[in-house]
Structure 1
Amino acid sequence: MNQDAAQENINTNLIPKKLIPPYMKALSGSLGGIMEAACLQPIDVIKTRLQLDRSGNYKGILHCGNTIARSEGVRALWKGLTPFATHLTLKYTLRMGSNALLQSAFKDSETGKISNHGRLISGFGAGVLEAVVIVTPFEVVKIRLQQQKGLSHELLKYRGPVHCAGMIIKEEGFRGLWAGVTPTIMRNGTNQSVMFTAKNSFDVLLWKKNEGDGKVLLPWQSMISGFLAGTAGPICTGPFDVVKTRLMAQVKQGGEVKYKGMIHAIRTIHAEEGLVALWKGLLPRLMRIPPGQAIMWAVADQVIGLYERRYLQT
């Protein structure tokens, strides 16, 4: 009986009763966001140009990239990098931190474990929060900069992120920075709900890694889990992303806009361009988001894993 009790006590001690503090999750996400932005900005520019192409000027990803580099210079593939990098850093900081805070509400008080439905709800909440606070205004500025053709400042309406934001506020009011907020909420909420749940599941399934166990995944292991977790979202949320881009890019002409909201935009695009148009830019999204998640998690897991090993498993 004493041996059984001792064994049970050991097993209980092995169960993680602590979670990573939200501030550490936030820090790990910000560092991962910086690395992701530096690597994948050209793919994001190509995705935006393809989504805004209504006349078929670009024949595909490679043609679009070559056309931009040839006609506007290679630097044009990094248009909008400043708002993109800032946006990713702040977005991942808020996403990872708020998700950790929300997950604490679903944590089992005895084992410290979180159910899958708790991860889904926490992920959706984190996605909604980041969409409203950070993603929408930054993406409006980024998309307005990316849709401009050429590099000559004299020929461009927006001369940089700050100037662009100021022009939008002057011409369209503060609400102009939140154009497309509804489809952005739907896209990010769904994406993060799926991503956080899938990432944890893949870690457990592939590498037997549980949060708080002190095990530090190798970077390539984190990249595989992150890549797989980041694949489902773009397929499910393609229409939301196309509509978001169209709503953010449009400028009022004489007080009128082409798309009056998310539902109207979906119906208009479907009627004028066909159903497939609602998934325009899907391939470059799949070229950017899963690799982006792979890069971000490779960095974040190292930061989180080292913290677990040093402070939670002493």
Structure 2
Amino acid sequence: MSSSGERKPSRDNGTIPPYMKAVSGSLGGTMEACCLQPIDVIKTRLQLDKMGAYKGIAHCGRTVARTEGVRALWKGLTPFATHLTLKYTLRMGSNALFQGAFKDPSTGKISNQGRLMSGFGAGVLEALAIVTPFEVVKIRLQQQKGLSPELLRYKGPIHCSRTIIREEGVLGLWAGAAPTVMRNGTNQAAMFTAKNAFDVILWKKHEGDGKVLQPWQSMISGFLAGTAGPFCTGPFDVVKTRLMAQNRQGGQLKYKGMVHAIRTIYAEEGLRALWKGLLPRLMRIPPGQAIMWAVADQVIGLYERRFLHDAPL
């Protein structure tokens, strides 16, 4: 408590516990998944399209809806929503823990380098623990084409998981782990650092200061913070999708690993192929971050206002 008797803590002492960050991420991830699943389906189909069957985002969406029904645009929603909810729970919670470890003990502040390292660590954790196995199942389901369920190889998320484990072993659920780690680590390092910077620059919002951003303010900061990642990590995302989609049915695997996949795609399809699906990623990731942060910031802001500033120290 200050000498003047004020109850309000300084912004550096206003620490939000990791569990609240985890809760806010969970709620934000659920909302994001429900809104943006069709864009993810289109992105996956474009990345797997080696023959040029789809002429672009709109043509791909129309083709899927016409030939497989509108519901096909939400294929893989169950694993996608579950994976996003768990991913954001782990991402937000672990990032808060890492930031706590990297804070200067004398000032309570964290440097930009500490934010980058915290974000990268959170991205690596989510990639290995949650993202890779869930995306393997999601991509296997999304790549299936057709209207007749009895003709589909995978009948649902559980059946898909069991089939992969039976035919490819447990490690089959971690196909594409290396590019996923690189993609998510880089993405989160940039995203958390950029989000904090935009909050400060645009809205003068510092963590723990008790200020609750309006949802539209959070959406602008989240959208801007989510734009850099897709450009930087495009090749990792394409390679991840190719590695996750392939299976041993009918012979040897075409891609032996991340580096081999990059070389093969470049040799067979050209440099631009390593950024296939970039536009739908830009249509999904920045809006997804906008939606997620609009929800998460409200939860975190209400906690700050009620427990860090209304309660006596």
How would you bin the TM-score normalised by the shorter chain?
A: over 0.9
Q: Which moved more, 1:44-53 or 1:105-114?
A: 105-114
TM-score normalised according to structure 1 size: 0.96
In the TM superposition, what is the alpha-carbon distance from 1:6 to its structure 2 partner?
Answer: 6.2
Structure 2 unmatched runs, 5+: none
In the TM superposition, what is the alpha-carbon distance from 1:111 to its structure 2 partner?
Answer: 3.5
Percent identity over the alignment is 80
Q: Who is 1:27 aligned against?
A: 23
What root-mean-square deviation, in Å, do the aligned CA atoms of Structure 1 and Structure 2 show? Answer: 1.6
The one of 246, 251, 266 equivalent to 2:262 is 266
Q: Within 5 A, what are the aligned runs for 1:123-134?
A: 123-134=119-130
Q: Who is 2:275 aligned against?
A: 279
Amino acid at match of 1:97: G
Structure 1 unmatched runs, 5+: none
* CA distance in 2: counterparts of 1:309 and 1:212, whole angstroms: 9
* CA distance in 1: counterparts of 2:218 and 2:9, whole angstroms: 26
Residues 203 and 210 in structure 1, CA contact (< 8 A), matched pair in contact too: yes
Q: Who is 2:101 aligned against?
A: 105
* CA distance in 2: counterparts of 1:164 and 1:242, whole angstroms: 21
The one of 50, 56, 61 equivalent to 2:52 is 56
TM-score normalised according to structure 2 size: 0.96
The one of 296, 304, 310 equivalent to 2:306 is 310
Q: Who is 2:41 aligned against?
A: 45
In the TM superposition, what is the alpha-carbon distance from 1:110 to its structure 2 partner?
Answer: 3.9
Q: Which moved more, 1:47-56 or 1:252-261?
A: 252-261
Amino acid at match of 1:171: E
* CA distance in 2: counterparts of 1:98 and 1:14, whole angstroms: 24
Q: Who is 1:225 aligned against?
A: 221
Q: Who is 2:196 aligned against?
A: 200
The one of 48, 64, 72 equivalent to 2:68 is 72
Q: Who is 1:88 aligned against?
A: 84
Q: Who is 2:286 aligned against?
A: 290
In the TM superposition, what is the alpha-carbon distance from 1:68 to its structure 2 partner?
Answer: 0.2
* CA distance in 1: counterparts of 2:292 and 2:109, whole angstroms: 24
Measured at CA, do residues 271 and 44 of structure 1 come closer, stay the same or move farther in structure 2, by a change above 3 Å?
Answer: same
In the TM superposition, what is the alpha-carbon distance from 1:141 to its structure 2 partner?
Answer: 0.1
Query: Could you report, residue by residue, the CA deviation over 1:179-226 in whole angstroms, capped at 9, with x for unpaired residues?
Result: 000000000000000000000000000000000000000000000000
Q: Who is 1:155 aligned against?
A: 151
Q: Who is 1:141 aligned against?
A: 137
In the TM superposition, what is the alpha-carbon distance from 1:238 to its structure 2 partner?
Answer: 0.1
Residues 199 and 221 in structure 2, CA contact (< 8 A), matched pair in contact too: yes
Residues 18 and 112 in structure 1, CA contact (< 8 A), matched pair in contact too: no
* CA distance in 1: counterparts of 2:38 and 2:11, whole angstroms: 44
* CA distance in 2: counterparts of 1:300 and 1:233, whole angstroms: 20
The one of 232, 239, 248 equivalent to 1:236 is 232
Residues 19 and 112 in structure 1, CA contact (< 8 A), matched pair in contact too: no
Amino acid at match of 2:246: Q
In the TM superposition, what is the alpha-carbon distance from 1:19 to its structure 2 partner?
Answer: 1.6
Residues 76 and 150 in structure 1, CA contact (< 8 A), matched pair in contact too: no
Residues 32 and 291 in structure 2, CA contact (< 8 A), matched pair in contact too: yes
* CA distance in 1: counterparts of 2:19 and 2:115, whole angstroms: 18
In the TM superposition, what is the alpha-carbon distance from 1:107 to its structure 2 partner?
Answer: 1.5
Aligned length: 309
Q: Which moved more, 1:289-298 or 1:101-110?
A: 101-110
Query: Could you report, residue by residue, the CA deviation over 1:144-187 in whole angstroms, capped at 9, with x for unpaired residues?
Result: 00000023211100000000000000000001000000000000
Residues 17 and 110 in structure 1, CA contact (< 8 A), matched pair in contact too: no
SS in 2 for 1:14: coil
